[in-house]
Structure formats: C-alpha cells, structure tokens
Amino acid sequence: MSAFKHSFAVVIVGLYLPTSHANSLIIDGKLDEHVWQTAHNIESFFQVVPATHVMSNDKLSAKVFADSAGIYIGITNYQIEGRRKKQFNLQDGFMQAEFNRIYLDFSGDGSSAYLFATTLGGGKQDAVVTAQRSIDHDWDGDWQSAYYESPTYWSNEVFIPWHSVSFSPKLNAAGLASIGVGIQLYELHSNHIFANQKQTIANSDFFLNMPKVDIAIPAQAQLSFVPYVTHQHHFTERQNKRRESDVGFDLFYKPAHNQTLSIAVNPDFAQVDSDDVDVNYSAVETLRTDKRPFFTQDISVFNIDVLQDTKLIHTRRIGAGSDDGSELITPIDGAVRFVHQGTHNQWGGFAVHENNLENAAGKQFYAGRYSYRSANWRTGLLATHVERPWFNRQAHSLAWDSQFQNEKWSMQSAFLVSQIDEVQRKTGNGTSFNIGYQFSPNTRASGKYLRLNKQFNSRDMGYMKRNDWQYMNLNLNHATNINNDWLTRIRHTFDLSYEANTQGLKLSSKQGYQSEIMMNNGAQWTVRIDYRDTGWQDNIGAQSEPFKLPSALETRVLYQSAYSGSFSWAASIEFDQEGLSGHAQQYALDMTWMPHENWNIKFNNFYRSGDGWLVANKQNQITEYDRHYFVNSIEVSALLSDNLELSANIQWSVLEAASKDVFQITKQSLVRLSELDTSFVDKGLMSQFKLRYRLGAYSDIYLVYRRGGRDIVSLQRMHVGDQSWLEGVEENWTQPDEDSVIFKVRYLF
C-alpha cells in the first residue's frame, strides 16, 4: 500500500473535493487506471463455506486504495464464461448471481462495520453490521459500483465516499488509520464462499481476525440536504381525503467522520412501499422494518442485543397510528439526533415530536445512549422516554448492556427496566444473557436466557413478543465437510429449550434437530424434526387464562435447487400435530424465472391445512378451527434502462376458518360449549406497481400505483368455502379499500 499524505477536504452539500486519483479514475469495473498499480494487493483467499479453510488463490484477487474522496476496492473474479451467472436485482433484493461482499470496519475495532455487496449484473445490497454481528439492511448508503466482463474473468469496482459512513478513525504515529477489510466471493453454481479471512460473520472472532489495511483518511466536514415532495391521489374515499400532498426534508451535518447531527421535518414514512398482507391472529405482534433515512442512519449506536427480538427502540412506533385512532400515519413535526463515536466512548441522543393533531393525540419520543468500548469488551446504557398525552401516559425504559468476545467466547448481557406512569405506576424488569463458544470453525455451542417479568413493557417505543416470560435455549451446531461427487457439507443443529412464565408455570417448549445437506451441484436439502413437549398456553390473547396443551411432533423437509440457470425453485412439505388433537399439512413452492439478465419473476405459494388451529375469540373463550390458509405472491423486478427500475408485487391470501369446537377456559380447564359457531373467512389483497428513476444517491423520482383491500366475514360453518378463492380476491380488487397513485421526488443537495 503506498503511503498517502494526510490531507484535508471540506465536503459541502454532498460534494467532495477530489484529488488527482478521483479525477483520473472512472468507476467502470475495468481496473485499468494507473492508480490501481499502486494499490494494496490482497492475494490470499480461503474457502469459508464449507469451512475447509483451503487456500484458493485461483478464485479471486483484490486491490484497495484511498484518497481524499474515499476508499476504492477492486476485485477480479476468475470465473470463465459458461461457469458464471449474470443477473440484476433491486436494491437490497435477493442476489441470484455471482457476487462479492465487502465488509469494512472503518474504525478497525469491531464497534461496527458496513456491508457492501454487488453482483455480476449490477445488483446491490448494503447494510450496517453491529458489534454483535447482526445485520441491518434498512440502511442505504451513498456509494458506487460497476462490473466488467471478459471471457476468463469478471471484475467489480467499488467506491465508498468517506462522508457516506460514520466512524471514528484510529490513527497511528504516522497518521494512518487501520481499517478492517473483508472481501468475499459467492460462487453461485456450488454455493461456496471464498474470503480473505478464515471467518464468516457467524464466527465470534470475525472482527478480531479481520485483515487490516493502513490508509490515510482526511478530516472532512459534510452537509447534506434531502427534501422530498409527494402527491397522492385516492380513487376511493379515505377519511374524506381524495388528494394528499406532503413536503419534508432530512438534513445531515457531519463536522467530522465520527460526529453526525441529523434534523428531519415531516420525514417521509416510505409511502411508496407497502407492507405485506398481515394475517396474524396470535397475541404476538408482527415485527416490521423501517427504511426512513432519519431512522436508519447511525441507528447501530442505539442497538442493544436482547434475545427474542426484544427492543427498547423500534422506530416503526414513531409516526405510526395516532392514539385517538384518527390517523394511520401521524405526521412528524420535527426530529433531531446527534451521535458521537470516539475512540473508546460513544454517545448519542434523539428527540421526535409528532403532530398534536386536533386532540393532542400525537406522541413525543426521546432516547439517549452511552457506551464504552475496549479491544474485547463493551458496556453501555440506553434510556428512553415516551409521552402520550391522549392517554395521559408516560413510558420510561433503561437498559445496561455488556458484550465480550475473543477467539473462542462470545457473551452478551442486558439488564432492562421499564416504568409506565398512567393511572398508577407499573415498574418492570428483564434480563437477557447469551453466551457462545466456538470449539472449531465447524463446531459452535450457545446458551441463551431471557426473563421478562409481568410488569415489563417496552411497547410504547420498543417491541417485545410478550412479557411474564422465562426462555432458555441450548444450541449445538456442527458441520462435516465432505469432498465427493455428491456432497460438500452436512450441518447438524440441535436445539433444547425450556419456557415458563415468571410464576413458574411451565409452558410448551420446543426441542429440535435439523440437518442441512449441501449438494455438490449447488442444491440443498434441509430436514427438521421438532418435538413440542406438554405445557401450558398462557399467551393466546384476549387476556385469557392459561390452559394445557398436549405434546406435538412437527416434521419438515425443504429442497432448494441450484441457483444457476434461468430457473430455480424451492419446495417444502411439513406434517404437524397441532392444537388439542389436530393435525396439519403445510406445503410451499417458490419459483424464480429470469428470462433476461435484467428481469426477475418470482411466483411464491404457501398452503396450510389443519383441524387444530387455536384462536382466542374473546377473554377465556377459544375456538379450535378446521382451517385452510393460502398465500400467493407474484413479484416482478426489472431494470428497464440504466437508471429506470420497475417493480410489481401482487400478494393475496385466503383464510377459511370453520369452527370445530368452542371452549370456555374455566379454572385452567377447557369446557366445550355447544351450539356456538365462530366460523369466518378472511380475504386480503395487496398490489403495488412502482417505477423508480435514479437521479443519484438519495435522489429519485417515483411513480407508484397501489390497490387492495381486506375483507373479514363471519359465516356459518356450513357456508365456509362456498365462495371460490379467486372470486373472493376479485372482490378485493373490484371493491378496494386502497386505490391510489403516488408521485414522489427526493433530491440530495
């Protein structure tokens, strides 16, 4: 690596002052500019999936260099024509082509990293990797990539500007920063992965053994202003609104690489993307993701690793439905966040004020975070506060988390406290502990413990599956690498779990075994067997009393074809015991057709039928249903021109639930109720057709059409199934709840 002089460049409103390197280098994938000859070379690569760790220097090579504009990575993949697949995918979409992954730990200490992935065909993914090695694809960064093909190889060229990421550079005496650089090639026809380090993101020592490159990083300041305008026209009445227009902006100011001030006024709630149809009759809320820039930038600083998706901050709460029920999306008047990432100390805070509406139904959200980090250990505090004037309610939470990792051990712990001030004060607490041990690259074990008492409640700003819960799990994962004409790897996973509520009532828990068989042609088989032991069900919903469930056996077989070629498919079949005495069958078939390297068509089907589905109809009354549930989705994505993308998604579902038996829960026993019929049919449709024209980073023009609806009808058991599925979906289309067109423009200044 040549030594670059330490320089200073000021970046204003999204622009940077380039050096001669940036002037002479064009991001075209060819790697033919002279500056690449002076770059740092990476020649040693290892097979990490399967984890044989055999050196494979004939698979790929890479180069890294930097200037005052950013960091450049060039990768040459030695795959001849006929043995490689070229395919485009939408941003963060599934990559069904040869692709490279690049992990960059800009701080060089494992406090966080960024993932950049790009395919042969121009598809892209990016994500934030937390210190706990969890991956958040909601983050979208400002970076460039291009590929180039020749008969004997293809190459990737990637450029990441310094201003697009947040980090705290660690400078040595020479003024150079040590950056962790992980580079991988995913070989599609074999499902093998080759990397410049012997670890993957699944290994606890991934950050510790990440290869480092010393680079001169200039001091920079940057100001980005991203306004947006949307106009939505409803063809159906929607709260007496036919036309809706919205204006807002995000402002990001970075006085240094490790500091960011973010301000948002009426931030966009990603109106151009619809959520999937959600058919959920359980007491566990569906967890949604968030793509709003204000809530994805630097959010890893506020991340706390708690088991079972328990979160103190779930940003989809912010700007969601108003407390009086008058608005599905509550406008946000303003939001501000500041983050500082030091050598050992990180801290940050944010505040969000929703519109008060007419009845003081808006909410206010506040959060503060501090953490301290050394080479192998990290600890910190997170505090949140929510004000909900409509309910005269205030919610507070506090968490103390710690993390330790070395080449064998990985440990995360968190101690949680919540306090709700409403009619009376309720204070709850929780504990999360996760310990893992890596015996070898192919053998790992972990133990997990989560306890949330009955008063713990994080739902005002966060997310939790339930409270009044004790969950324990032991996991052993072992892979055997096989090198023959048929198989490449068999991985065995053993799961033992125990669940109870905090009063000691034993709940039904799962013990499982799974075998994953990777074939030499890139196909994969998965076989799973789970045994649910006898236990109590105390979280069926409607604040019902607990009742006892019998033991049950669940079996599943999944086959995934090789991803190479223009057509791929996956199919699974499952036979389960369910409910009190019922049985169920489940079938899934997913097919992908790629008629052109720029076109991708997916046809996914899911069907489950059984006679033991339990649902709480009201407090202490449950029904065991004989039900049929079918979901079909068709997704089309295409690159119509260099900057114009098309995506279409049609998803419909039919749930037919015929009442089999109705029970009253009385003194923790089930009493059958006669002459009660709670049968119903639930039909849903969601469709979205989107054109996106890319103007640049955070700069787009969208034109979106959405149409769909949901219809839930109570019927007599004898009439469930009278209407064909297609007729029901046709009614959702012809009599929609949602029928609108959206035009949106956003632009980075």
Whether the predicted pLDDT of 467 surpasses 60: yes
Whether the predicted pLDDT of 517 surpasses 60: yes
| List of residues 6+ apart from 694 with CB closer than 8 A | 643, 644, 645, 700
> In the chain, what is the straight-line distance between the N-terminal and C-terminal CA atoms, in Å?
34
Alpha carbons 275 and 293: distance in angstroms, whole number: 17
**In this structure, is residue 414 part of a structural domain?**
no
Alpha carbons 667 and 138: distance in angstroms, whole number: 46
Average model confidence (pLDDT) for the chain? 92
Helix (H, G, I), strand (E, B) or coil at 162: helix
Each residue's pLDDT tens digit, 357-397: 988 999 999 999 999 998 889 999 999 999 999 999 999 99
| Closest C-alpha among 108, 175, 165 to residue 139 | 165
Strand partners, 506: 500
In one-letter notation, the amino acid at residue 277 is: V
pLDDT of residue 1: 35
pLDDT of residue 6: 30
pLDDT of residue 138: 86
Whether the predicted pLDDT of 23 surpasses 70: no
* Mean of pLDDT values over 298-308: 89
Q: pLDDT over 70 for what percent of the chain?
A: 96
Its pTM stands at 0.91
**In this structure, is residue 316 part of a structural domain?**
no
Least confident residue range of 287-291, 490-494, 501-505, 675-679: 287-291
Q: What one-character DSSP code corresponds to residue 508?
A: P
Each residue's pLDDT tens digit, 64-112: 999 999 999 999 999 999 899 999 999 999 999 999 999 999 999 888 8
**In this structure, is residue 47 part of a structural domain?**
yes
Whether the predicted pLDDT of 19 surpasses 80: no
Burial (0-12, 13-18, 19+ Cβ within 10 Å), 658: buried
Tokens of 731: 């009614």
Sign of the Cα pseudo-torsion (160, 166, 167, 173, in order): positive
Whether the predicted pLDDT of 241 surpasses 70: no
Q: Over 61-94, what HEC string results?
A: EEEEEECCCEEEEEEEECCCCCCCCCCCCCCCCC
**In this structure, is residue 97 part of a structural domain?**
yes
- Cα 515 from chain centre: 25
**In this structure, is residue 119 part of a structural domain?**
yes
Q: What one-character DSSP code corresponds to residue 15?
A: B
Each residue's pLDDT tens digit, 690-729: 999 999 888 999 999 999 999 999 999 999 999 999 898 8
pLDDT of residue 239: 54
pLDDT of residue 740: 92
Alpha carbons 250 and 336: distance in angstroms, whole number: 10
CB 430 within 8 A of CB 416: yes
pLDDT of residue 715: 94
**In this structure, is residue 332 part of a structural domain?**
no
* Mean of pLDDT values over 244-270: 88
pLDDT of residue 647: 95
| Closest C-alpha among 274, 234, 235, 316 to residue 651 | 274
Sign of the Cα pseudo-torsion (463, 464, 467, 473, in order): negative
**In this structure, is residue 524 part of a structural domain?**
no
The overall longest dimension of the chain from CA atoms, in Å, is 84
Each residue's pLDDT tens digit, 668-696: 899 999 889 999 999 999 999 999 999 98
**In this structure, is residue 713 part of a structural domain?**
no
* Mean of pLDDT values over 266-292: 81
CB 168 within 8 A of CB 257: yes
Alpha carbons 18 and 221: distance in angstroms, whole number: 14
CB 461 within 8 A of CB 295: no
Alpha carbons 395 and 420: distance in angstroms, whole number: 5
Phi/psi zone of residue 309: left (φ > 0), alpha (ψ -120 to 50 degrees), beta? left
CA atoms within 13 A on the CB side of 625: 25
Each residue's pLDDT tens digit, 538-585: 999 999 999 999 999 999 999 999 998 999 999 999 999 999 999 999
Whether the predicted pLDDT of 238 surpasses 90: no
38: containing domain: 20-220
Whether the predicted pLDDT of 749 surpasses 80: yes
* Mean of pLDDT values over 585-589: 98
Pairing of strands 393-405, 377-388: antiparallel
The total of structural domains in the chain comes to: 1
Give me the CATH number covering residue 188.
2.60.40.1190
Q: What one-character DSSP code corresponds to residue 580?
A: T
Alpha carbons 272 and 443: distance in angstroms, whole number: 44
- Cα 361 from chain centre: 30
